[in-house]
Amino acid sequence: MTYGITVNGLGHAFLREFGCPCNRCTLKEHAANTSVSIFRRDNDGAGIEWHALIDAGLGVVTSLCNYFRPEDARLDWLLFTHWHPDHSLELNRLCETTRRSARYRSEPYVRIPTWCREGTSQWLKKTYSYEWHRCLDPRIFHETAPPGTILESVPLDLPDMTVTPVSVSHYSADIDPVTFKDTLYSSASFVVETDRKKAVLLWDIDNHNEWIVSPETDEQNRAVSFLSNADYLFIDCFTWAVEEVRGYNTGHISFSTVQRYAKALSPRETMLMHISGHEEGEGNDGWGWSDEQWEREAQNIWKSKSLPGTVRVPSIGETLQL
């Protein structure tokens, strides 16, 4: 039995901006919002017998078609880091294609078991009421824990893999969908563990997660240990240096904060996700950089500062063993 993780997308919210002349926006290649698949195979070369998708933004279904074989088409769980459109916009397409893939396998369609946080469930219920009620089978714990709390593991019911959410701050998503202003924690990172490997999925986080660097409570200390020493740390790297634009927080961390969080968490391999660079402004470091340039610049800093493990930008479609 083997487990793997495939990168379905690592794009930021808008993927490509119409009218932007930068190197990223003029690249005519498949792009998809940040998302990964976790899957289990019976043995090497055999078909996939279990598959969970984490986040369902734009381009994700095309990625599934590109990077998995038709006979591997199945979806056993859907997990959301949070409700933002770049993590949920392709929900309708995903639900409908999953309905059809059950038919191709001559199996009855069952609603997709879905995990997200309470705040995200309220947003999704409101925005995607058809999909929520007809296509998904929500497994929600009614918790509202603050950032830095280990939540109950997702009830996947697998003998040799666990996925455990940890609450994180992503303030532009941590909003009550009724009042549009009260704080309602909606965002999670995930720790994926098998007997062999640990992967941490830490994207769409802002710079109010200082508990990662200086935990204060017992719970925060537990959360930091739990996120530490991963084989793979997939982390938000929205910008190179800027975290505020015209006085507004971007809601994401820059590479400067990535370095501090990686130093605190000591992963073996750091993978930069959700890259934009637009917010730096034209002509500044990060603006228009290709993934290759992001990787090169990040590796130079990693080396000069002796940061833990290695750093790189994964490729879309890449699969890692878990």
Give residues in contact with Zn ion (CB under 5 A).
20, 22, 24-25, 84, 86, 173, 204
Q: Toward Zn ion, which CB reaches closer, 267 or 277? A: 277
Name, in order, each residue with C-beta under 8 angstroms of 34's C-beta and a sequence gap of 6 or more.
Answer: 9, 10, 11, 12, 55, 57, 86, 87, 203, 204, 273, 274
Round to whole Å and give the CA distance between 79 and 85. Answer: 14
- Between 74 and 274, CB nearer to Zn ion: 274
Taking the C-alpha atoms of residue 93 and residue 16, their distance in angstroms, rounded to an integer, is: 20
In the complex, the smallest distance separating the C-beta of residue 293 from Zn ion, rounded to whole angstroms, is 13
Given the complex with Zn ion, which of 76 and 174 has the nearer CB atom? 174
Angstrom distance (rounded) from CA 212 to CA 220: 8
Residue type, 151: L
As measured in angstroms, the least distance from the Cβ of 43 to Zn ion is 35
Nearer Cβ to Zn ion (229/293): 293
Shortest spacing between CB 175 and Zn ion, in angstroms: 11
Rounded distance between C-alpha atoms, residue 186 and residue 172, angstroms: 10
Cβ at position 14, least distance to Zn ion in Å: 9
Q: How far apart are CA 288 and CA 258, in angstroms?
A: 19
Pairing of strands 310-312, 269-273: parallel
Q: How far is the CB of 73 from Zn ion (least distance, A)?
A: 25
Provide the b/e sequence for 131-163 (b: ≥16 CB within 10 Å). bbeebbebeebeeebebbbbbeebebebeebeb
Nearest distance, CB of residue 20 and Zn ion, angstroms: 3
Burial zone of 215 (CB within 10 Å; 0-12 exposed, 13-18 middle, 19+ buried): middle
Judged by beta carbon, residue 101 or residue 167, the one nearer Zn ion is 167
d(CA 11, CA 205): 15
The nearest distance, CB 27 to Zn ion, in angstroms, is 9
Q: Which is nearer to Zn ion, 1 or 20 (by Cβ)?
A: 20
Nearer of residues 286 and 308 to Zn ion, judged by Cβ: 286
| Cα gap 320→39, rounded to integer Å | 11
Q: By the 8 A CB rule, do 78 and 136 touch?
A: yes
